[in-house]
């Protein structure tokens, strides 16, 4: 599966911070049930890799690693079942490692120079991060001029009320967001609420 295939599975990729591995399976199950099968588990907690491995057993879930910073992160995540990776930024070392591992990568970019470095290694599907802080929709429109073959998954500061505005852009395939799995709902085990949020997000229209 290529990065573009993953981006086209659903309009929203949930960005997940898992603090308790016991939440992993019910969280993944709730999101998949709501129509969001592509799940980004960020490397921000001690149980992230274990959670990723557990989520990989959920039927229909396509689990990837987020906050991947270096080649070692990619290898460890792949060994724990990650089928793709997302990074907050881009380095040639990270891109080369992803290519060597044959692990689809959505590299994070914020500038034209970032995009050009990513293109040098064959990456045309990119994460625009942090989206709202880096100019949001006007910036993405501007980047569409010189980079006609590049598509984005903007992430950062996007919520249920702004997601559709991003998705209306022709160079945006999907968005990343944490609003579909609020920390309080996860902590309290309100899985039906998360399924409802995911279902609403899965119905957002794209360009």
Is residue 207, in this structure, part of any structural domain at all?
no
What percent of the chain has a predicted confidence (pLDDT) above 70? 100
Does the model's pTM come out above 0.95?
Answer: yes
Is residue 194, in this structure, part of any structural domain at all?
yes
Catalytic residues: 40, 127
Is residue 2, in this structure, part of any structural domain at all?
no
- What's the mean per-residue pLDDT of the chain? 97
**1 CB burial (10 A radius; 0-12, 13-18, 19+):** exposed
Count of residues making up the chain: 207
Element (H, E) at 24: helix 24-33
pLDDT, tens digit, 9 for 90 and up, residues 70-83: 999 999 999 999 99
Q: What is the pLDDT of residue 85?
A: 98
Is residue 82, in this structure, part of any structural domain at all?
yes
Domain residue limits at 184: 7-202
Q: What is the pLDDT of residue 44?
A: 96
* pLDDT beyond 80 at 207: no
CATH code, domain carrying 28: 3.20.20.70
């Amino acid at each position: 599966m290529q990065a573009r295939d993953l981006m086209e599975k659903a309009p929203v990729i949930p960005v997940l911070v898992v603090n308790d591995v016991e939440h992993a399976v019910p969280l993944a199950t709730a999101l998949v049930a709501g129509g969001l099968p592509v799940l980004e588990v960020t490397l921000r907690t001690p149980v992230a890799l274990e959670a990723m491995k557990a989520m990989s057993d959920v039927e229909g879930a396509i689990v990837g690693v987020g906050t991947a910073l270096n080649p070692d992160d990619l290898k460890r995540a792949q060994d724990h079942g990650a089928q793709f990776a997302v990074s907050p930024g881009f380095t040639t070392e990270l891109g080369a490692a992803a290519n060597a591992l044959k692990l689809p990568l959505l590299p994070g970019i914020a500038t034209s120079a970032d995009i050009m470095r990513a293109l040098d290694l064959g990456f045309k599907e990119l994460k625009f991060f942090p989206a709202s802080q880096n100019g949001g929709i006007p910036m993405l429109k501007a980047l569409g001029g010189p980079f006609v073959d590049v598509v984005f998954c903007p992430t950062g500061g996007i919520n249920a009320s702004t997601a559709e505005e991003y998705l209306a852009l022709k160079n945006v395939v999907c968005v990343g967001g944490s609003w579909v799995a609020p920390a309080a709902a996860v902590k309290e085990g309100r899985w039906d609420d998360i399924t409802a949020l995911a279902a609403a997000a899965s119905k957002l229209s794209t360009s």
